Chains A and B, each alone.
Chain A
Amino acid sequence: MKTISKMLPGVIALAAAAALGLASTSVRAQDKTITLCWAAWDPANALVELSKDFTAKTGVKMKFEFVPWTNFADRMLNELNSKGKLCDLIIGDSQWIGGSAENGHYVKLNDFFAKEGIKMTDFMPATVTGYAEWPKNTPNYWALPAMADAVGWTYRKDWFAKPEIQAEFKKKHNRDLAPPKTWAEFKQVSEFFQGRMIDGKKVYGAYLFTERGSEGITMGVTNVLYPMGFKYEDPKKPYAMDGFVNSPDAVKGLEFYKALYKGSTPPGLTNAYMGEGLDAFKSGQVAMMMNWFAFFPGLFKDPNVGGDKIGFFTNPSDKGKGVQLGGQGISVVSYSSNKNESLQYIKWFANPEVQKKWQAIGGSSAAKSVLNDPAYPKSSPFAQNFLDSMGMVVDFWAEPSYAQLMLAMQKRTHDYVVADKGTAKEALDALVVDWKKVFKDDGKSMK
């Protein structure tokens, strides 16, 4: 007892010091602010809401830097290349992963995942490969799958349901008017609606991506190319592109996209991407719209075209299936001064409960705990289409030279589809030449 009483002042002092230490840690955490960079779109607003829970739990404040999609790659890749400290966390596009990993922009997360018990097997395989791995199909992780996305379709269910339209379509095509399952059906439906008067207004068949400056037309045309047989390379010989990128099937796919563009879209659709598509659909201009699933929760709630008026369908098939992968992973920027807090955010974000809430408030989780939940397919009118799409996604090159590869495809496809320059074969042959040059400069073997 005597010993204890002798030790008491020391114990009190230690306890006080520990309490002070804890308090100061807490004060420090409350003083910390981390910046998350992403594109400016609907899910980003949902993430702002979600992140309030992180601040409440940890005391780390969040700042957000959202850039419009058309400038997103330009702005953020410049930021990374200049080793800027603007972003602590970045939700970067899937195609940046190669460059960002090889150039040291992202922190490698393997050790962190192992330490914190975060397993990539808890996420949908396509999203892990697409958003987190570099080199692809190797267990080297540079991001946590954050926003699962793919291209999907919306259509005007109310127009499709009109008896006079149903009757006319059946008379013309000898089948019921329904959301198309194949590209041949899609063309029939879009051409059927093209220039039709509905509710006293001239409407058009479909909205497609045609944007020239960033990635738009590539993200659009690939949804026809993949199901028709286009492949980026010989599956047995990496970077061997002859006969795959410019195969007869790929040529057919590109010609088909041009035919759709010429015969089924509203006038003036020469440089249009997601935003213009939403405008066209919301203003009742088109019967069907190509866009990212990420926009569908917002569209479904739209007072003019949402609810019962809108339906959704998966990207049509042809000889095969395939759809453009969208979405992003969340990474810690190597140049950040707040790496610990940023990793803390990733750990918090990976939590199944947080993923569940992320999905519920307008995000799009890639976690199996959310997507494989038996209730998920009925959670929204497009949930099943999303699951189907995630089973057939294909992504663009994610090489370090992705920007050069993307700009080449933007140029060649826009030249052919919109500007009527040359033939589809010439466009794809030229694309192969462009891509070979990029890979040659990168020192890749194409034999």
Chain B
Amino acid sequence: MSIPSSFVSRAVQATPPVLATRMRGLSDRAIAWLFIGPTMLLLLAINIFPLIWTIKLSFTNYRANRPNANVLDVGIDNYVSVLTDPDIWAAMQATAHFLFWTIALQTLIGFALAWLIDRKFRGHGFWTTMILIPMMLSPAVVGNFWAFLYQPQTGLFNYAVSFLTGVPASSFEMIGSVRLAPWAIVIVDTWMWTPYVMLICLAGLRSIPDYIYEAAEVDRASAWRQFWSITLPMVLPFIMLAVLFRGIENFKMFDMVNLLTSGGPGSATELASITLKREAFEKWRTGYSSAFAIILFVAVFGLANIYVKALNHVKNR
């Protein structure tokens, strides 16, 4: 698309002569820097500087609530403490359980829903909107109302399970049992975020040109064969993208779980982010929690990079 010459001439006329003279003296590179400079400065101030500062703090015994205390350099002690702390590993295991099952369930159900919605049956627009509702809610609201739904005496969830299975409603506690609580948070996250995965998969399904299926029909490929050979490979980059987004989001999951279980019972649902928050802003072990934050950052950043490489590989096939 070319810019109309009248537009250019109007812009030239509108530029004050002093500015025009100054700009004329600048190279393209300098003008480019002029434009991206403020953004770069902002990024440095709100992203890079805090990161560097956190790295610096992670090698000290600094506590933000003790401004008058001596700050000592402790070398890699904080990192050693984090990596040898059984409570941290318990939190990492809880996080891994949460990550694996939420991603697996959301991908499976999200893709299945997208596939169904893509059939374009009567009223599919209405059902798409209905399915998207949980995703639009605030995690704080979701955490609070699922706490009521899981209530063993009055909660709808327990009654639904009781109705379907015959197990007495007050005989099990979804958020009070060490065995069930990790599944309780998986169920809530899956309920909330499956629509998001569905939307991405739906975009993928609708990007497949119809002529490919028509050609497959001509070749008398079965529906199953079409699914394995056309649908799945072409949607795979979209599914992988959804997995990446959900993985990063759930690795730092805090609000919903904190409101639903506060990390309990005991520490059964204490995810890494809840542990990090307790260390940083309740116990005020700033140096220690900085080290933990850096370890988490490196883990997410490293895994995400490997994953993006795999995603690009799939896309370029």
Contacts and interface: CB of A to CB of B under 8 A. Distances in A.
Nearest to B170: A267
B178 A421 contact: yes
Contact of B173 (A104, A212, A267, A400): A267
Contact of A407 (B170, B268, B282): B282
B284 interface: yes
Given A267-B152, A270-B173, A418-B176, A212 B264 contact: yes
Contact of B283 (A267, A268, A404): A404
B178 A212 contact: no
Contact of B65 (A103, A415, A421): A103
Contact of A266 (B87, B153, B261, B285): B153
B265 A271 contact: yes
B166 to A, nearest CB: 18
B302 interface: no
Interface string B29-69: 00000000000000000000000000000000100111110
Contacts, number: 86
B170 to A, nearest CB: 5
B65 A81 contact: yes
Nearest to B61: A441
B175 interface: yes
A327 B269 CA distance: 31
B262 interface: yes
B282 A267 contact: no
B173 A415 contact: no
B267 A415 contact: yes
Contact of A270 (B153, B175, B267): B175
B281 A74 contact: yes
Interface in B182-206: none
Contact of B263 (A77, A78, A212): A212
Nearest to A211: B262
B225 interface: no
A416 B266 CA distance: 7
B176 A213 contact: no
Number of chain A interface residues as a range: 20 to 34
A270 B264 CA distance: 8
Contacts of A81: 64-65, 284
B265 A419 contact: yes
B309 interface: no
B66 A418 contact: no
Contacts of B170: 267-268
A213 B263 contact: yes
B102 interface: no
Contacts of A74: 281-282
A77 B281 CA distance: 9
Nearest to A212: B264
A150 interface: no
Given A270-B176, A407-B283, A414 B264 contact: yes
Contact of B153 (A73, A99, A267, A416): A267
A340 to B, nearest CB: 25
Interface in A392-447: 400, 403-404, 407, 411, 414-416, 418-421, 441
Contact of A419 (B66, B67, B268, B283): B268
Given A270-B173, A270-B175, A78 B281 contact: yes
Contacts of B266: 212, 411, 414-416, 418-421
A429 to B, nearest CB: 14
Q: Which of A74, A81, A268 is most buried by chain B, counting CB atoms within 10 A of its CB?
A: A268
Interface string A71-109: 001100110010000000000000000010001100000
A418 B278 CA distance: 20
Contact of B176 (A77, A104, A271, A441): A271
Contacts of B263: 212-213
15 contacts: A99-B65, A103-B67, A103-B68, A212-B261, A267-B152, A267-B153, A267-B173, A268-B170, A269-B176, A270-B173, A270-B175, A271-B176, A404-B284, A414-B266, A419-B178
Given A213-B262, A414-B265, 15 more contacts: A74-B281, A81-B284, A103-B65, A212-B261, A212-B264, A213-B264, A268-B176, A271-B175, A271-B265, A404-B285, A414-B267, A415-B266, A418-B265, A419-B268, A420-B266
Interface of B: 61, 64-68, 87, 151-153, 155, 170, 173, 175-176, 178, 258, 261-268, 278, 281-285
List of 6 A-B pairs having minimum Cβ-Cβ separation, nearest first? A419-B266, A270-B176, A213-B262, A212-B264, A415-B266, A268-B152
